[in-house]
Structure 1
């Protein structure tokens, strides 16, 4: 019986019982305080008896199969939602797709190169993402090439001042070609930088929708809707415990009364003389005896007792709570809300990748133009 008993389970049971006692005090407001407190005490005692297995399954009211099926469906759906939110919570982490191998030393090197440029140059604003890392690298590469072009220009002017104006060498022609190549690279890196800047902006917008709309609604289903359903389910279990408790009390009282009646009958038959006398008296006064018997039966009619009236109230409460909880679970497990969220997720992703494709195609068009220009130059 106690093979699966553990301290953790007992602690959980005590905590659950305490919550149920509190809920019970609220739910039993329609009962007199004395009756309510007594019922709460008995119900809590029965809760522990059921947990440790001292009450047989036959004495525990069974819920409809359709209800238990809804419970399983609800619990499985929550597991699914929690599994999804574990993944989509990633959107809330700053720099979740930032290159992990982009070391601080490399960043420091880029910064040192930037410091060598004029104070008029202002860094672009970059977020912490993969697209931003590409854009930043392209931007800083562009700045390095501009710095190289500037140094070559200064050197060329210095050399021109030291040479005859009529002198033109093959080196100068080669230098001009190198300048064109540098200019082309500057333009390429500039377009690459802008391309991933736009991609990064679109990513920020996508992340915002995922956080503020998708995750928020998913969290609401888990933290609000499911908890509301669990409150209704706890009320069902609470009312079931109350109903079973009073039903058990009535059965116990009836069994005790029956045993007392049998004991009384046995005591009467032990004295035959007394029994015969009673029989004679009953024959003499049949009408009076019958009236007394009917009166006693009427007074002891169990259907009119307070216990049976209370049992009837608790049964109605049990049925009402079960119906309400079933309706709540049906609403929670409705596919419409989860489908709506998945559509939101997919649409947000689709919009993001469409915009990324547009930016990449625009950049590829520029790169193709440089390929054509290089081919013509070679020919």
Structure 2
């Protein structure tokens, strides 16, 4: 007997859980079929908040779809480059140091193909330019059998060292953007905006429940297969129980609406997204500033080599004439 009573109690509990869901489902279906005339309307201010939250969500999705590339090291690495394991084995600065100690072409070649000392080198466009510049410099050096250094080879080696520094600055920028922009915007999208979406869902559930209770109390419950809805009863015909049920549903609707308004305002008013954007700009600015400084140091050195080579070229032409 006790087991049977427990079974009945569990069925009652299950019924209590299913009935609200079923009522909301029927109410939603009625609305989709145009069988509802007195749908409870949400306040205009609430609807405006929903539109603003939707816009904020779209902004986060659109911006993250592009800026998420900062989390991928090789986002600017040209796909047509064919670099080998040896190319990526050592940094340009390590190779230059080994090359400076080389006393023969064989030693220089060994320095270029030295086994890796750490993880493979970054696959960024500046790093790729650096590696290509150093390899080009050595190709000229190896074929230079005359006296003195080849000015183009010297310039390419200096350019390689500079571009490696630019590449390291780009990686530092990416790390800053990942931690100070991407992390924040992903949190807003996947946490704060989801809280707002859940609160809005609760409002819609409360609204559907309220309208379902009203329809049931007034005798306008929709039935599958019925050609017409039953005639609604007048407001004064509602029983005290039905009136109490409606008031309870109305209170829940108001409570959920107020909660959703609070959550949405909090999401819209937080300064975090704008602060994150400022940090994104700061990271980009710092990178471009460092790149400018590095190349500004290099430019006069290369220009001096150019002037020197042009002077030597004019002198050789004058001697030949």
TM-score, reference length from structure 2: 0.74
Other-structure match for 2:245: 310
Q: How many angstroms apart in 1 are the aligned matches of 2:19 and 2:195?
A: 28
Contact 2:184 2:273 in 1 (8 A): no
1:220 deviates by 1.6
Matched, 1:130 2:111: no
Q: Mapping of 1:101-116 within 5 angstroms? A: 101-102=80-81, 104=82
Residue 155 of structure 2: which of 182, 188, 206 is its match?
Answer: 188
Contact 2:184 2:272 in 1 (8 A): no
Contact 1:126 1:136 in 2 (8 A): no
Residue 70 of structure 2: which of 83, 91, 95 is its match?
Answer: 91
Cα displacement string for residues 267-320 of structure 1 (whole angstroms, at most 9, x for unaligned residues): xxxxxxxxxxxxxxxxxxxxxxxxxxxxxxxxx9957x2222222222111111
Q: How many angstroms apart in 2 are the aligned matches of 1:221 and 1:92?
A: 18
Other-structure match for 1:55: 36
Residue 68 of structure 1: which of 44, 47, 60 is its match?
Answer: 47
Q: Mapping of 1:1-379 within 5 angstroms? A: 37-56=18-37, 59-102=38-81, 104=82, 117-121=108-112, 122=114, 126-149=121-144, 152=145, 175=146, 179-182=147-150, 184-252=151-219, 302=238, 305-334=240-269, 336-374=271-309, 377=312
Where 1:119 maps in the other structure, the secondary structure is helix
Which one has the largest radius of gyration? 1
Cα displacement string for residues 95-130 of structure 1 (whole angstroms, at most 9, x for unaligned residues): 22122343x3x869x89xx99754354378632111
Q: How many angstroms apart in 2 are the aligned matches of 1:310 and 1:93?
A: 56
Contact 2:210 2:246 in 1 (8 A): yes
Q: How many angstroms apart in 2 are the aligned matches of 1:368 and 1:120?
A: 28
Where 2:121 maps in the other structure, the secondary structure is coil
Deviates more, 1:336-345 or 1:207-216: 207-216
Query: Please, which runs of 5 or more residues in structure 1 have no aligned partner?
Result: 1-30, 153-174, 259-299
1:256 deviates by 7.2
Q: How many angstroms apart in 2 are the aligned matches of 1:257 and 1:127?
A: 76
More helix by share: 1
Other-structure match for 1:169: none
The structure, 1 or 2, with the larger RCO (C-alpha pairs under 8 Å, 6+ apart) is 1
1:65 deviates by 0.1
Count of residue correspondences = 273
1:131 deviates by 0.4
Deviates more, 1:248-257 or 1:206-215: 248-257
Runs of 4 or more, structure 1, over 6 Å off, are 253-258
1:353 deviates by 0.2
Q: How many angstroms apart in 2 are the aligned matches of 1:42 and 1:99?
A: 58
Q: How many angstroms apart in 2 are the aligned matches of 1:332 and 1:257?
A: 43
CA pair 60-190 structure 1, distance change in 2 beyond 3 A: same
Q: How many angstroms apart in 1 are the aligned matches of 2:169 and 2:115?
A: 20
1:341 deviates by 1.9
Query: Please, which runs of 5 or more residues in structure 2 have no aligned partner?
Result: 1-11, 89-98, 100-104, 221-229, 316-321
1:32 deviates by 7.9
Contact 1:229 1:328 in 2 (8 A): yes
Report the RMSD for the aligned CA atoms in angstroms.
3.3
CA pair 37-86 structure 1, distance change in 2 beyond 3 A: closer
